[in-house]
Amino acid sequence: MMYQDTLESFFKVPRPVGTCKFREQTFGQSNFLNDYIKKQTKSECYEKYYQRVENNYTESATRKEKLHVPVKCVQTPADNEKKRFKCNICEKSFAQESSRKSHMVIHSGERPFQCEICEDRFRSKYTMKVHMLVHSHEKPYKCDVCVKRFNQRASRKRHLLVHNDDTLFKCDICDKAFKEKRSQQRQFLIHAGIKRFTCKVCDRRFGRKHHLKRHELTHTSEKRFQSNYCNKRFNSTASREKHLRIHTGERRFKCKICEKSFTQSGGLTKHMMTHTGEKSFKCDYCEKPFRYKGDLKKHIRTHTGEKLYRCDICEKQFSLLGSFKQHKLIHTGEKPYACDFCDKRFNSNSNLAMHYVVHRDEMPFKCDVCEKPFLFFKHKHLTPNKTKKK
């Protein structure tokens, strides 16, 4: 694998560092062991503190307001004396100087840890290690209940809620489970198609906040992430990762029916429709069904007249991205479509097709019935498999 050496240096088999004397449970990291021991030896003060927080949170939730008042422990001042290292910005205290230094990165905005593969930067070494799993496609965290695996511990933790009978908030549509009522409500809004997050530049709406943030990058001219194979640049690592698969030929997404593979998950999703014949996306205006959501969105614009794409030079607007890109070639003077017979170039495929009429006699493939010439064999309008039976 291309990045194997880099990845192996980050992911090593953990070795047990200690065992809890109360439950004889073994831990791979000392901080996990210490946290566990603290929970097993809760003081009376801690129990009261925890109960007060829980009660206040419940009361706050019923009043639909956020709780901002901290609940302070007054019975164990010795615990506070142990935290000698104080942040001079927010006055938060820490037991160790190293913890204070790690905390200070939040205020400075510094990201000292850099991924050696994609050059993304992170505040802590731990978050960088978690990020590295994206490149390895490894999923080391296995669910103890079912066979699902995850590349992040947090993802597995969220998944485990599905198996927890005590989970209070479960989505009736997709069976996802949530710790908080508001998370469940957000999921309902997504299923309902309600898009609460609006782009301030083009007014496009999104159901999830992180989808909006990813979209907003398309409006910035800054493209920090360059392809390892060509000069193309991207404004997000996700876009670059998709692009890199074009060069490597990696096809991670395979159809379980015909084993055809794809570089993008969207390609597999579209392909699966060819097996099912399903057209699950229906227009609310004319009830015309569509196989793909993207085709439905384009069609709806014929009813609404909505034009999402605006030329920043002449301010002309377009409803389709393809038409918008074609228009921009007028301003740039770029002519990407070249004639195979002469040196002429054109800014559109349709103009090139009209030009080919000049070279009719030079076209190598002709129809055996009407002798109409074609540039490519596949363009012949009467090939053997299309011949009508008499």
**Cα distances (angstroms) measured from residue 185 to each of 1, 22, 57, 239:** 42, 40, 18, 30
123: pLDDT strictly greater than 80: no
Considering the chain, what percentage of its residues have pLDDT values greater than 90? 0
17-27 pLDDT tens trace: 455 444 455 54
Q: Which has more pLDDT, 313 or 12?
A: 313
**C-alpha–C-alpha distance, residues 16 and 29, integer Å:** 7
**C-alpha–C-alpha distance, residues 280 and 21, integer Å:** 57
How many Cβ atoms sit within 10 Å of the Cβ of residue 203? 9
3-state SS, one letter per residue, for 32-57: HHHHHHHHHCCCHHHHHHHHHHHHHH
**Whole-number average pLDDT of the chain:** 70
Q: Give the closest residue to 251 by CA, choosing from 259, 263, 243.
A: 263
Q: CB–CB of 38/27 below 8 Å?
A: no
**C-alpha–C-alpha distance, residues 237 and 214, integer Å:** 10
For the domain spanning 335-386, the CATH number is 3.30.160
14 — phi, psi (to 5°)?
A: -70, 145
Q: What is the mean pLDDT of residues 290-309?
A: 82
**pLDDT value at residue 76:** 43
* Identity at 302, one-letter amino acid code: T
Q: Give the closest residue to 244 by CA, choosing from 259, 228, 224, 233.
A: 228
**Cα distances (angstroms) measured from residue 367 to each of 316, 323, 341:** 42, 32, 20
**pLDDT value at residue 118:** 66
Q: Give the closest residue to 301 by CA, choosing from 315, 312, 290, 313.
A: 290
Domain limits, the chain: 335-386
Helix, strand, coil share of the chain (percent; to 5): 45, 10, 45
Q: Which long-range contacts (CB under 8 A, 24 or more apart) does 249-257 make?
A: 252/137
**pLDDT value at residue 336:** 83
Q: What is the mean pLDDT of residues 339-347?
A: 83
How many Cβ atoms sit within 10 Å of the Cβ of residue 320? 14
Residue 335 contacts by C-beta under 8 Å, 6 or more apart in sequence?
329, 345, 346, 347
**C-alpha–C-alpha distance, residues 306 and 291, integer Å:** 22
**pLDDT value at residue 224:** 75
106: pLDDT strictly greater than 50: yes
188-234 pLDDT tens trace: 777 777 788 888 888 888 888 878 887 877 777 677 778 888 888 88
User: Which residues lie across from 188 on neighbouring strands?
Assistant: none
Q: What is the mean pLDDT of residues 307-311?
A: 83
Q: Which residue carries 């909006």 as its tokens?
A: 212
**C-alpha–C-alpha distance, residues 72 and 82, integer Å:** 16
Which strand (E) or helix (H) includes residue 102?
helix 97-108
**pLDDT value at residue 380:** 47
**pLDDT value at residue 361:** 66
**C-alpha–C-alpha distance, residues 142 and 164, integer Å:** 16
The token duo for 354 is 């009209």
Angle at 133 between CA 164 and CA 210, to 5 degrees: 70
Residue 96 contacts by C-beta under 8 Å, 6 or more apart in sequence?
85
46 — phi, psi (to 5°)?
A: -65, -40
Which strand (E) or helix (H) includes residue 248?
helix 237-248
* Identity at 143, one-letter amino acid code: C
57-79 pLDDT tens trace: 444 333 333 333 344 444 444 44
Rg (CA), the chain: 30
The token duo for 149 is 């695996």
